[in-house]
Structure 1
Amino acid sequence: MPKIDINAAPVKTGSIYPEPYNGQMAGRRSQRLGEHAGLTQFGVNIVHLEAGAPASLRHWHLREDEFAMVLTGELVLVEDAGETVMRAGDCAAWQAGVPDAHRFINRSQAPASFLIVGSKAEEEEATYGDVDMKIHISGGKARFTYHDGSDWSGPRDLAASGIAPKGDSK
């Protein structure tokens, strides 16, 4: 197995979220190690977060497992059950199909990073816990909907839709 040149891996900044959520991902970038190595069955990324930056909106995956390990700094893991401070060497994992919306936030004053490994299902759906939005991935293309399956056209009030947000809604 050839050694991977981490510095040659493609870097992605921000997210694929529609606005206004993409704008909330400032200070986030990820090195696409799995893509760089040509892996097709699972993704491997190092996510770098500047002070105050979130890694994502809180979400859970229908078909994909996820594993994360903090590499540097201190992050806060926000899940349905609450918050956990995570430091270098701490790990977390989420099974596909278990509705526990989660995300990392860097609430420290210094940069932090984590390794994220996840399976790559050909058809995937992720549900966002604090906003009325889902992502559907098929054939490498993303489509956003509301929780009820109707096409997404912009943020709408969760209370009016009957969906109560859980945990950190920042």
Structure 2
Amino acid sequence: MAQRHHPQGIGGLATILSHPPGGDAPKRARSCPLFSARPQCLPMPTDSKPLAVVAADAPARTKPSNYPEPFAARVAGRVKRPLGDLFALKHFGVNHTTLPPKSVSALRHAHSRQDEFVYILAGHPTLYTDEGATPLSPGMCAGFPAGSGNGHKLVNETDEPVLYLEVGDRSEGDEVSYPEDDLRAVQVDGRWAFTHKDGRPY
């Protein structure tokens, strides 16, 4: 479902780096066109993780949403491709996310300890916050400081796909509030526990 979006390198080529035997400095291995239907010259893995990937070709998250029902159904169609996990990043995560027409990024929410940032690659989503609706376009970005309490979400109200990068840190002990829904999330041992606002579990 994801529309391919390949950042242009010099001369429209992506250079793949690989480590030679013995672990010396990286050497140039080969270059591959970014505009082929599916580039075949993906980087060779080292220590089970790649040196570089085409973001739009990264594996999609196997579990589409962590929300309990009925909330999970409200983000149906959204495709997240975790990029930070591919490189074993520990302190922040990065997702390449696709929103098909008429879909939503998340329930409107605010984090207590984790900052968030989005950068629009393609399409024209609408950002909803306490300030109302803000149209976004390719090249625009927005940031959401931890602890602000200002809930946010992106909605694709158009007939074209929206692609964007989302970045968030991985501070422990995070909690998430949902101003428009009877939902609360608490991070426990790296996993999300969802309850009603009065504490009853889903």
Instruction: Please identify the structure whose Cα radius of gyration is greater.
Output: 2
- TM-fit CA distance, 1:115: 0.5
Q: Which residue of 2 aligns with 1:156?
A: none
Structure 2 counterpart of 1:60, from 110, 115, 119: 110
Query: In the alignment, which residue of structure 2 is the partner of 1:30?
Result: 80
Structure of higher RCO (CA pairs closer than 8 Å, 6+ residues apart):
1
Find 1:4's aligned residue among 29, 35, 53.
Answer: 53
SS in structure 2 at match of 1:93: strand
In structure 1, what residue type is equivalent to 2:60? V
Please give the TM-score of this superposition, normalised by the length of structure 1: 0.84
RMSD over aligned CA atoms reads: 1.5
TM-score where L is the length of structure 2: 0.71
Asked whether 1:18 is paired with 2:68, we answer yes
Secondary structure at 1:46 match in 2: strand
User: Cα offset for 1:106?
Assistant: 0.4
Question: How many Å separate the matches in 2 of 1:6 and 1:75?
Answer: 20
Quick one: which of 137, 146, 154 aligns to 1:87?
Answer: 137
Match of 1:129 in 2: 179
Residues 120 and 140, structure 2, Cα contact 8 Å, conserved in 1: yes
Q: After alignment, is 36-45 or 4-13 more displaced?
A: 4-13
Q: Could you report, residue by residue, the CA deviation over 1:69-120 in whole angstroms, capped at 9, with x for unpaired residues?
A: 1110110000011000000001100110000000000000011111000100
Percent identity, aligned pairs only, is: 34
> What pairs with 1:67-106 in structure 2 (closer than 5 Å)?
67-106=117-156
**1:110 maps to 2:160:** yes
**Amino acid across the alignment from 2:196:** Y
In structure 2, list runs of 5 or more residues that go unmatched: 1-16, 18-50
Q: State the Cα distance separating 1:145 from its structure 2 match.
A: 1.9
* Cα contact 1:133–1:152 (8 A) shared by 2: no
* Residues 122 and 137 in structure 1, CA contact (< 8 A), matched pair in contact too: yes
Q: Does the 8 A contact of 1:70 with 1:114 survive in 2?
A: yes
Shift of 1:3: 2.1
Shift of 1:43: 0.5
Displacement of 1:8 in angstroms is 5.3
Query: Does the 8 Å contact 1:72/1:114 carry over to 2?
Result: yes
Q: How many residues align?
A: 152
Q: Would the aligned equivalents of 1:14 and 1:23 in 2 still touch at CA under 8 Å?
A: no
Structure 2: distance between partners of 1:96 and 1:10 = 28
Matches within 5 A, 1:127-166: 127-148=177-198, 150-153=199-202
Pairwise CA distance, 1:7: 4.9
Structure ranking higher in strand proportion: 1
Structure 1 unmatched ranges of 5 or more: 154-170
How much has 1:122 moved relative to structure 2? 2.1
